[in-house]
C-alpha cells in the first residue's frame, strides 16, 4: 500500500493546497478570511507532517496551532475590529519592497538547496511511520548530556510568564494607577 505513489500524491496535494491557502492568508484584505485560510495552511502542514511520518507532531500541530493559536488570533481580530475587518490595500512601495525581499530570500535559499548534497541517511519511501513517542519523552526529561530537561523547565517558566504578562498588559488600568 505504501509504495511511494500514495505519498507522492499526498505530497503534491498538500503542497498545492498549502501554497494556495498561504497566498490567501497574505493577499486577502479581510482578516477573518485570512485567519480561516491560516487554519487551512496549518491543516495542510499537519498532513505534510503525516506524510513525513511524524504522527505525534502532527497531532500537536492540530491541537496547539489550530486549536489554540488560531482561535486566539480569531479572538484578537474580533475584539479589535468592531465589524470593519477590511484592511486598506498596501501601497505600491510596500508591495515592491515586500516582493523584492521575499523573492530574494526564496532565490538565495533555493540556489543553496539545489547546489547542496545533503548527507541522506534514509532513502526509502515516505509515509512510513517514524514515530517514537517514548524516545521523545525520554529525551525531554533526561538529564544526561543530550537531554532536554533544562529547556523543558525554562519553557514552562516562559509559559507562566506569558500568562501573567498577558493579564498584566491587557487589563484595564486606572488613570492614576502605576
Partner 1 sequence: MIPTPTITHWLTLSALLFSIGLYGIFTRRNAVGVLLSIELTLNSAILNILIFNRFVASDDVDGQVLVLFIIAAAAAEAVVALAIFVSFYRHRHTLDVTQANHIYDQGNRTS
Question: Closest distance between partner 1 and the C-beta of residue 117, in Å?
Answer: 10
Write down the residue that cell numbers 533544562 correspond to: 150
User: Binders of partner 1 among 90-109, rule CB under 8 A?
Assistant: 90, 94-95, 97-99, 101-103, 105-106, 109
User: Binders of partner 1 among 36-75, rule CB under 8 A?
Assistant: 38, 41-42, 45, 48-49, 52-54, 56-57, 60-61, 64-65, 68-70, 72-73, 75
How far is it, in rounded angstroms, from Cα 168 to Cα 178? 12
Q: Are 147 and 73 in contact (CB under 8 A)?
A: no
Selected from 6, 25, 40, 59, the binder of partner 1 by CB under 8 A is 25
Q: Does 22 bind partner 1 (CB under 8 A)?
A: yes
Question: Closest distance between partner 1 and the C-beta of residue 83, in Å?
Answer: 13
Burial 83-112 (b: 16+ CB within 10 A, else e): eebeeeeeeeeeeeeeeeeeeeeeeeeeee
User: Binders of partner 1 among 141-170, rule CB under 8 A?
Assistant: 146, 148, 151, 155, 158-159, 161-163, 165-170
How far is it, in rounded angstroms, from Cα 46 to Cα 57? 8
Selected from 88, 143, 145, 150, the binder of partner 1 by CB under 8 A is 88
Residues 6+ apart with CB under 8 A from 53: 126, 127, 128, 129, 130, 131
Selected from 6, 11, 13, 40, the binder of partner 1 by CB under 8 A is 11
Amino acid at each position: 500500500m505504501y509504495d511511494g505513489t500514495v505519498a507522492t500524491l499526498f505530497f503534491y496535494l498538500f503542497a498545492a493546497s498549502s501554497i494556495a491557502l498561504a497566498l490567501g492568508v497574505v493577499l486577502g484584505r479581510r482578516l477573518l478570511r485570512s485567519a480561516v485560510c491560516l487554519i487551512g495552511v496549518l491543516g495542510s502542514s499537519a498532513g505534510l507532517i503525516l506524510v513525513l511520518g511524524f504522527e505525534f507532531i502532527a497531532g500537536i500541530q492540530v491541537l496547539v496551532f489550530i486549536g489554540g493559536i488560531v482561535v486566539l488570533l480569531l479572538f484578537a481580530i474580533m475584539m479589535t475590529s468592531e465589524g470593519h475587518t477590511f484592511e486598506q490595500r498596501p501601497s505600491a512601495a510596500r508591495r515592491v519592497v515586500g516582493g523584492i525581499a521575499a523573492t530574494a530570500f526564496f532565490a538565495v535559499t533555493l540556489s543553496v538547496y539545489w547546489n547542496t548534497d545533503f548527507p541522506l541517511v534514509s532513502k526509502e519511501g515516505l509515509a512510513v511511520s517514524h514515530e517514537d513517542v517514548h524516545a521523545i519523552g525520554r529525551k525531554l526529561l533526561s538529564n544526561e548530556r543530550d537531554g532536554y530537561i533544562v529547556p523543558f523547565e525554562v519553557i514552562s517558566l516562559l509559559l507562566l510568564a506569558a500568562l501573567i504578562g498577558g493579564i498584566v498588559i491587557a487589563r484595564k488600568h486606572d488613570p492614576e494607577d502605576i
